[in-house]
Chain A
């Protein structure tokens, strides 16, 4: 029947779109291989934990106490003494040249001050150009100084309070566990938006859209038929990264994969819709690519994928929740690392489905308007 949604027409479009994907190995390779490459880069090469910071020592005191102090720094595993220096100038040049990030100077009167029950000082120079290294160096050196002071103060008596932190869910604080769930989400986003933005612009560029408009095919059939293959491809990609994460990088999945898929589906829908919207606005693939990049960048930076949400200024913290990416990354880490289920993530599900449906409906309406 004319005038009604035709399943046959939609299937015809979907089949054709699958053929386009198969016939364009470059795009397929790019879409599937690059994420895997990035996965291995992130999984093996990147460790954001600060360990064994290169440190130089300038010990003017040379007493047993001063040497014990330095050993304490070394034993913390956060510092690695690479050299002992014998002048201020040498100490400074080690920092400026970047050979060491931290310098510890123990003045001549260190032991004498302690004997005299006066405050003994040690100087800790920290290179601030690596902010995370600087932060850790500062915290650890403060902690060591505090611990040492308390010990001196209480002498042989036991400590009154001792903090024993235990890290839940990711006990080794492995970066892979933190990054790969986020990477999975970001890659799905990139793929969904890039593929769908190109799908219609490519037909515009080649002039084939004009021919399609002359046929009875409806906007809804065209849109659904085009996006089904990309939805499948994106979910395959998601599954591949999930599998590699679990098998190669040994990140345990504590929750249910079905929960994850149930949340990824509306997320993909949201970005397919966004890509479709882009393709109604521009006429060339270059322009579509740039617009897709433009929407992707802020959502990557603000989503908590790399930079933790909690350290953002309040304004940006609110902005971050506009992006579906933020919601899915949070949910993915929840499911994979903490074993979260629907009872914890129902709000994420509601928001993602809302965003998915809204973005898709908006794009389809816009597209239909352009068509007729």
Chain B
């Protein structure tokens, strides 16, 4: 006989009590009943929210500094976006920064939360936030303009620090 057809050899056979099955069921029930009194893992979601760590990639937002966006409308994010979710229209200002986005839109139905926009951004102007609750009643609602995207720098401190440390 070749090795393939050989029967499986059990190193350990069931003893009498294990073959009886009933003591084993009682053992199993001991475990299940013990589990009933252990702490639960469930999070009561809408009331009890999850606070993600800094490495979490939630929806992308624009960093707002001194009431203005940091963005200089270079268009790199829109260029790198694999899902073609970002649309930027640039315009000029008299400030030293010179350029700013007139229109900055992210289509949240297309966004895949890859974080490439954040990596490509030379100004650290677009970062991934911790927000993960994204629900819409219509497709139009899902296109986030500058009004929804701008977020003060202080609220994004965790992420900015994380980026400085690991990028």
Q: Do A and B bind each other?
A: no
A-contacting residues of B (Cβ < 8 Å)? none
